[in-house]
Amino acid sequence: MNNVGSVSADMQDRPEQGPPLWLLAELTYRCPLQCPYCSNPLEFAEHKQELTTAQWIDVFSQARALGAAQLGFSGGEPLVRDDLAELIGAARDMGYYTNLITSGMGLNQARIDQFLDAGLDHIQISFQASDGEVNNMLAGSRKAFDQKLAMARAVKAAGYPMVLNFVTHRHNIDQIEKIIELCLALEADFVELATCQYYGWAHLNRAGLLPTKAQLDHAEAVTNRYRAKLAAEDHPCKLILVMPDYYEDRPKGCMNGWGNIFLTITPDGTALPCHSARQLPVAFPNVSEHSLSHIWYDSFGFNRYRGDDWMQEPCRSCPEKEKDFGGCRCQAYMLTGDATQADPVCSKSPHHHQILAARAEADLPQPPIEALTFRNERTSRIICKS
Ligand code: SF4
Ligand code: SF4
């Protein structure tokens, strides 16, 4: 590894704002699956342009010089890029810790071996459910479940640390015991049981995805029972349960602060402080027009919600603002139309009633999985036109 711990001259001149530590490279919005909770923008079909191999390597190099240490390869489905092994190799040569975030579609033994040779550190495979029928219905592919099972086994056999990720919602959260058992059988090192975060396609489908409080309580109790059992057995698998903030009264400290440690680059080179921020009414810079140093430290987009000058009441005078930064700017914008509002998850927000209404809606009978709006090119194009 080279460049480890290197600090650019530019970074030394910027004591007030730390560097980006986490780089998320959304290599493409293309994906063979159609998850109705996908975090890609609704209008992803409008953004077909992708950075070239050389442009991505230049982005990695600039971010590394600023101080970034972890690099996630994401999408869409990053495996649709034929240059993925080359990108992984370049990133590892720069000293990044590298993580592939994939659905497993398009993975095979040859590519697993190729990525190992390139130095890939870690693989995360996402599943839609613990049984083939629900998994394949959500994914929109009859082959998806078997392919994921085969690739999870192959990834472990190759010796990678492996995360299995299950996005949970009202249609699969009651399977939590089976999900955990499946992950243990597949020898996952980490299991991420992440309830939907309501952005992008998940926000569009929120009524059909948000679990009830009773479902969440059951999932939490089962997870805690398994945690205790695994700890007693000294089992290496770790269970991570991410609950939806819709059942909280205080918002999450989103992205650990706006433009604080996370840097996302979208397929066309737009730089974002978080992967959902593209929807905000803010002009975000592009790596083909500006250096990453300028983007991170000086651009309007990355400075827009740093600090607290932008805050309105009740956040402005709130003693908790150092802890949660007023919550999520995207959620504030989606629910109030104004990104400078307090996140409506907060019980002090004048818009908190929207969260309470969503909770009440979750208790009503909801249509079946087939009624969800699935993420695909055709639907995205319709949304773009509307
Ligand atoms: S969430 Fe589903 S549809 Fe979206 S990129 Fe991931 S695998 Fe593809
Ligand atoms: S009022 Fe604002 S800063 Fe205070 S807890 Fe709520 S969201 Fe956080």
Ligand nearest to the CA of 250: 2
Q: pLDDT tens, 10-52?
A: 444 555 899 999 999 999 999 999 999 999 999 999 999 999 9
Residue nearest to atom 6 of ligand 2 (CA): 346
* Domain 20-385, CATH class in plain words: alpha beta
Average pLDDT over residues 228-248: 96
Q: Tell me which residue of 169, 131, 104 sits closest to 369, measured CA to CA.
A: 169
Which pLDDT value is given to residue 254?
A: 87
Which sign does the torsion angle of CA 249, 255, 260, 265 carry? negative
Ligand nearest to the CA of 308: 2
Q: Tell me which residue of 128, 342, 125 sits closest to 245, measured CA to CA.
A: 342
Average pLDDT over residues 307-318: 96
The answer to whether the CB of 74 falls within 8 A of the CB of 119 is: no
Average pLDDT over residues 53-79: 98
pLDDT band at 370 (very low <50, low <70, confident <90, very high): very high
Q: How far is CA 109 from the centre of its chain?
A: 26
pLDDT band at 7 (very low <50, low <70, confident <90, very high): very low
The atom number, within ligand 1, closest to the CA of 40 reads 4
CB-ligand 2 contact for 94 (6 Å cutoff): no
Average pLDDT over residues 135-160: 97
Ligand nearest to the CA of 104: 1
Which pLDDT value is given to residue 386?
A: 81
Q: pLDDT tens, 247-284?
A: 999 999 989 999 999 999 999 999 999 999 999 999 99
Buried b (16+ CB within 10 A) or exposed e, 307-318: eeebbeebbeeb
Asked if residue 9 has pLDDT above 70, the reply is: no
Of 1-5, 35-39, 315-319, give the lowest mean pLDDT range: 1-5
Q: How far is CA 256 from the centre of its chain?
A: 14
**Helix, strand, coil percentages in the chain from 3-state DSSP, rounded to 5:** 40, 10, 45
The atom number, within ligand 1, closest to the CA of 76 reads 5
- 58 sits in which H/E element: helix 53-66
CB-ligand 1 contact for 144 (6 Å cutoff): no
Q: pLDDT tens, 164-211?
A: 999 999 999 999 999 999 999 999 999 999 999 999 999 999 999 999
Q: Cα separations (Å) of 141 from 31, 100, 202, 214, 236? A: 12, 21, 19, 30, 32
Asked if residue 144 has pLDDT above 90, the reply is: yes
Which pLDDT value is given to residue 14?
A: 52
Average pLDDT over residues 101-122: 98
User: Is 38 part of any known ligand binding site?
Assistant: yes
Q: pLDDT tens, 337-360?
A: 999 999 999 999 999 999 999 999
pTM of the predicted model over 0.85: yes
**Percent of the chain residues past pLDDT 90, beyond the cut:** 94
CB-ligand 1 contact for 130 (6 Å cutoff): no
Q: Tell me how crowded residue 14 is: count the other CB atoms within 10 A of its CB.
A: 16
Q: Cα separations (Å) of 284 from 43, 67, 76, 223? A: 16, 21, 20, 40
Which pLDDT value is given to residue 15?
A: 53
Q: Tell me which residue of 49, 48, 26 sits closest to 38, measured CA to CA.
A: 26
Please give the distance, rounded to the nearest whole angstrom, from the Cα atom of residue 95 to the centre of ligand 1. Answer: 28
Please give the distance, rounded to the nearest whole angstrom, from the Cα atom of residue 254 to the centre of ligand 2. Answer: 12
Asked if residue 321 has pLDDT above 80, the reply is: yes
The partner residues of 168 in beta bridges, in order of sequence, read 195
Which pLDDT value is given to residue 366?
A: 87
- Please choose from 308, 324, 325, 330 the residue to mutate so as to test ligand 2's pocket, defined by most ligand atoms within 8 A of CB: 324
CB-ligand 2 contact for 32 (6 Å cutoff): no
- What mean pLDDT is reported for the chain? 94
